[in-house]
Amino acid sequence: MISQSYADFLHRTAHALHLCTTARFTREEDSGRPLREAVDDVRGTLDAVRQRLHEAAPDGPDDLATYGTLLSQARRLTDRLDHSSRA
Protein backbone atom coordinates (compact mmCIF):
# COMPACT_ATOMS: atom_id res chain seq x y z
CA MET A 1 0.00 0.00 0.00
CA ILE A 2 1.39 3.39 -0.97
CA SER A 3 0.29 5.13 2.22
CA GLN A 4 2.43 2.75 4.30
CA SER A 5 5.43 3.33 2.01
CA TYR A 6 4.94 7.09 2.30
CA ALA A 7 4.67 6.84 6.10
CA ASP A 8 7.95 4.90 6.10
CA PHE A 9 9.50 7.64 3.97
CA LEU A 10 8.35 10.30 6.47
CA HIS A 11 9.71 8.31 9.40
CA ARG A 12 13.11 7.91 7.78
CA THR A 13 13.11 11.57 6.74
CA ALA A 14 12.50 12.64 10.35
CA HIS A 15 15.52 10.58 11.40
CA ALA A 16 17.66 12.17 8.67
CA LEU A 17 16.54 15.67 9.73
CA HIS A 18 17.58 14.89 13.29
CA LEU A 19 20.99 13.76 12.06
CA CYS A 20 21.24 16.87 9.88
CA THR A 21 20.92 19.07 12.95
CA THR A 22 23.42 16.94 14.85
CA ALA A 23 25.95 17.01 12.01
CA ARG A 24 25.59 20.74 11.58
CA PHE A 25 26.36 21.56 15.20
CA THR A 26 28.92 18.84 15.94
CA ARG A 27 32.59 19.42 15.36
CA GLU A 28 33.49 15.75 15.15
CA GLU A 29 35.50 14.86 12.06
CA ASP A 30 33.11 12.33 10.55
CA SER A 31 29.78 13.49 12.00
CA GLY A 32 28.32 13.71 8.48
CA ARG A 33 28.68 10.00 7.70
CA PRO A 34 25.55 8.88 9.58
CA LEU A 35 23.61 11.63 7.85
CA ARG A 36 24.80 10.56 4.41
CA GLU A 37 23.82 6.99 5.19
CA ALA A 38 20.39 8.11 6.43
CA VAL A 39 19.84 10.21 3.29
CA ASP A 40 20.74 7.23 1.13
CA ASP A 41 18.16 5.25 3.10
CA VAL A 42 15.58 8.01 2.54
CA ARG A 43 16.30 7.95 -1.18
CA GLY A 44 15.82 4.17 -1.26
CA THR A 45 12.51 4.53 0.55
CA LEU A 46 11.45 7.21 -1.92
CA ASP A 47 12.20 4.77 -4.73
CA ALA A 48 9.84 2.29 -3.04
CA VAL A 49 7.13 4.96 -2.92
CA ARG A 50 7.63 5.64 -6.62
CA GLN A 51 7.32 1.94 -7.43
CA ARG A 52 4.08 1.70 -5.48
CA LEU A 53 2.62 4.75 -7.21
CA HIS A 54 1.62 2.69 -10.23
CA GLU A 55 -0.51 0.53 -7.93
CA ALA A 56 -2.44 3.63 -6.85
CA ALA A 57 -3.06 4.88 -10.39
CA PRO A 58 -6.03 2.58 -11.11
CA ASP A 59 -7.91 4.25 -8.25
CA GLY A 60 -8.58 7.26 -10.45
CA PRO A 61 -7.04 10.51 -11.61
CA ASP A 62 -7.77 12.35 -8.35
CA ASP A 63 -5.76 9.81 -6.37
CA LEU A 64 -2.96 9.97 -8.90
CA ALA A 65 -2.84 13.78 -8.63
CA THR A 66 -2.62 13.56 -4.84
CA TYR A 67 0.10 10.92 -4.87
CA GLY A 68 1.97 12.76 -7.60
CA THR A 69 2.02 15.91 -5.49
CA LEU A 70 3.25 13.98 -2.46
CA LEU A 71 5.93 12.32 -4.57
CA SER A 72 7.08 15.66 -5.95
CA GLN A 73 7.38 17.16 -2.47
CA ALA A 74 9.14 14.05 -1.20
CA ARG A 75 11.67 14.22 -4.02
CA ARG A 76 12.37 17.90 -3.34
CA LEU A 77 12.88 17.21 0.36
CA THR A 78 15.17 14.27 -0.38
CA ASP A 79 17.25 16.37 -2.77
CA ARG A 80 17.67 19.08 -0.14
CA LEU A 81 18.69 16.55 2.48
CA ASP A 82 21.15 15.04 0.02
CA HIS A 83 22.65 18.46 -0.67
CA SER A 84 22.94 19.19 3.06
CA SER A 85 24.58 15.86 3.75
CA ARG A 86 27.33 16.52 1.23
CA ALA A 87 28.05 20.14 2.21
pLDDT at 60 over 90: no
The model's pTM is 0.78
CA distance 45 to 71: 11
pLDDT score of 70? 82
What does DSSP assign to residue 31? Answer: T
CA distance 52 to 82: 22
Cβ pair 52, 63 in contact under 8 A = no
| Averaged confidence pLDDT in the chain | 83
CA distance 57 to 32: 38
* Nearest of 38, 46, 45 to residue 21 by alpha carbon: 38
Question: pLDDT tier at 66 (50, 70, 90 boundaries)?
Answer: confident
pLDDT at 28 over 70: no
Lowest mean pLDDT among 28-32, 48-52, 71-75: 28-32
CA distance 74 to 79: 9
